[in-house]
């Protein structure tokens, strides 16, 4: 096990858990959404969360981190979705507002991590960058704004050389 700070491991654990919650959150929102395009976008955002969590999973294993029970995280994501606005425009506005802060937080996590975690941490940050890119392009009315999400979903973290 690599020697890393408790702050790094705790933060990594929390962010990993948030991706699992996030997948359930967006999937629940999609399920509740009647408008086909918004529903599709919410499904894509759920997939992006899952893709990010999967990329981070080897780091969780590498550092012997024990995240919260998956079922509890899913239940929490669903509960959050039920408290969220049911309207795509409102949700998207909230995300455009809050996601830059997440990008900054993920970059701080990257700075705390050991070199062997760098590629996967960068890939984790990248999911928020892709989501923001999508949100801004969608807000501008750009056709095919979802390509930002599809590009992330096709990508994999290139392992940093050991
Ligand atoms: Fe996320």
- For the chain (length 162 residues), average pLDDT per consecutive 10? 81 98 98 96 98 97 96 98 93 97 97 96 97 98 96 84 40
Report the C-alpha gap between 29 and 130 in whole angstroms: 19
SS3 27: helix
Report how far ligand 1's centroid is from the alpha carbon of 19 (Å): 5
Per-residue confidence (pLDDT) for residue 1, from 0 to 100: 47
Per-residue confidence (pLDDT) for residue 159, from 0 to 100: 54
Report the C-alpha gap between 5 and 148 in whole angstroms: 33
User: Among 64, 61, 76, 85, which residue's Cα sits nearest to residue 18?
Assistant: 76
Report how far ligand 1's centroid is from the alpha carbon of 94 (Å): 14
Token digits for 156? 């994999």
Report how far ligand 1's centroid is from the alpha carbon of 26 (Å): 10
Q: Provide the whole-model pTM.
A: 0.94
User: Which letter does DSSP use for residue 104 in this model?
Assistant: H
Q: What is the dihedral of CA 142, 148, 153, 157, to 10 degrees?
A: 180
Q: List the domain boundaries for the chain.
A: 6-154
Per-residue confidence (pLDDT) for residue 160, from 0 to 100: 45
Per-residue confidence (pLDDT) for residue 140, from 0 to 100: 97
The CATH number assigned to the domain with range 6-154 reads 1.20.1260
């Amino acid at each position: 096990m690599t020697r890393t700070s408790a702050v790094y491991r705790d933060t990594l654990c929390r962010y990993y858990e948030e991706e699992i919650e996030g997948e359930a959150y967006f999937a629940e929102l999609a399920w509740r959404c009647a408008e086909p395009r918004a529903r599709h976008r919410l499904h894509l955002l759920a997939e992006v969360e899952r893709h990010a969590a999967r990329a981070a999973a080897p780091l969780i294993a590498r550092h012997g981190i024990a995240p919260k029970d998956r079922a509890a995280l899913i239940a929490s994501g669903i509960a959050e979705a039920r408290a969220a606005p049911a309207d795509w425009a409102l949700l998207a506005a909230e995300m455009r507002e809050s996601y830059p802060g997440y990008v900054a937080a993920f970059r701080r996590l990257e700075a705390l991590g050991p070199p062997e975690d760098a590629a996967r941490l960068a890939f984790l940050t990248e999911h928020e960058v892709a989501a923001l890119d999508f949100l801004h392009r969608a807000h501008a009315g750009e056709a095919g704004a979802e390509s930002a999400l599809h590009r992330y979903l096709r990508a994999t973290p290139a392992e940093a050389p050991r």
